[in-house]
Structure 1
Amino acid sequence: MTSWIPLVLLALAALLPLGAAVLRPAAARGRREADVALYRAQLDELDREHEAGRLDEAGHRAARIEVQRRLIAAADQAEEAATKRSPALLVAILPLLGAAGFGIYLLRGSPGMPSAPYQVRAEAAARDDQVLSAVRARIEALDQRSDQARQGWVLLGNAERGRGNPEAAIAAWTRALDIRFEAELAGDIAEMEIARGSPAAAAPWLTRALAAEPGDPRFRFLAGLAEAESGRPANARNLWQALLAETPPDAPWRGLLERRLSALP
């Protein structure tokens, strides 16, 4: 039994960073807060309904804006809840987490099982590459002016984004936009470019998205974010202040916008 004591001590040591994190004062989540709050406004289900003809243009636009507002409101509520967390309760839970993990390991653990070697992981990644390469070849064989090809590029971009491959995702989405422009997809590319530290590459997409939908709050916010990330806080302030002036007092994203404005240097 004494052989387990070092493992228990290691488990408690591993929980120390978590304890330090929950005891720190809550801080703003920065760019990712804005990304999550504004990006998830697009829902694939609404788009599918619209493309299938079961939802007209006006209904699709209204539903998308409403879901966008709810998601932004949820992000704000999550941040407010984070600022009200109870350190005492969290500290009390930490030892229980360690004990629970230890108990589960005793029941289900297999200490003699080796971890997956690098070669196995590399082979799995290679298989994924092979499958996506075949999919890409099939899309290439389609009429590149057709909606079928466009949808194929969109789905391929989604798959590459899910694999954590932003360059391939952007390349596939760009092919889709070459077939038919869609402001939402252009906004997705712009957001991904900002997230990977390339705000200059996001600017042309935001320009086109705003030309198509000049009043869209997501695109206007991202335009300000691109300026802020490019080291032009004065431009970001002008863009966000203009958006704030047109934002209703009860809009769920107003608090987020005000916080981002106040954080500018």
Structure 2
Amino acid sequence: MIWLGFVILSLIVLAPFMLAQRHIRLRGRRESALVLYRAQLVELENEGERGRIGPAEQAQAKLEIERRLLSTASTPEEVLPKAGRLSWLLPAMVLLLPALAIALYLPGATPMMPAAPLAPRIAAAEEQARQDLAMLDMLRAKLQTLDPHSEQARQGFVLMGNMEAGMGDAAAASAAWAKALEIRSDPQLLALKAQADAAAQSVKAP
């Protein structure tokens, strides 16, 4: 079912974070400062051995770092949340994310509708294309019986252009609309013909 898929997908996405959380160790400001000062003492010692700092400057800097180290060590440690207290967040998200996805999906969805097989859809499209071609043939036959300069003929050419455009034949649509424009000019129809011409040219271009 699709709901099970939502849950599995959420687990796949969040699993690396859940595994990584087991190895997370939170540090407070006091512990971080102590680590920093100890690293500075080691670096200062290395600088002195390389001769990059004089003995007097090294002694003075070491004294200052040790003073800060002792001052920080004497401050009380802040209370940090244990990792176990945070471990419920990611499992909760595993349930929350599918719930949010379902809430967004349901208003405009029909989850119980069966999938439409491809073959019937192809057959329906082919049948619709045959009907459109038959209607075009009937329209051409009708136009041959009309006065080529009449308003009725103009409406027939407009309809023919619309049908040709709907079937994806921009060149044929432009030709039909051109005949309608010869009978009576129309700015909107002229704009449609220009779009059809541009589409036909883009198809011809290599």
* TM-score, length basis structure 2: 0.43
Q: Which of these two proteins has the greater Rg computed from alpha carbons?
A: 2
* TM-score, length basis structure 1: 0.34
Q: Higher relative contact order by CA 8 Å / sep ≥ 6: 1 or 2? A: 2
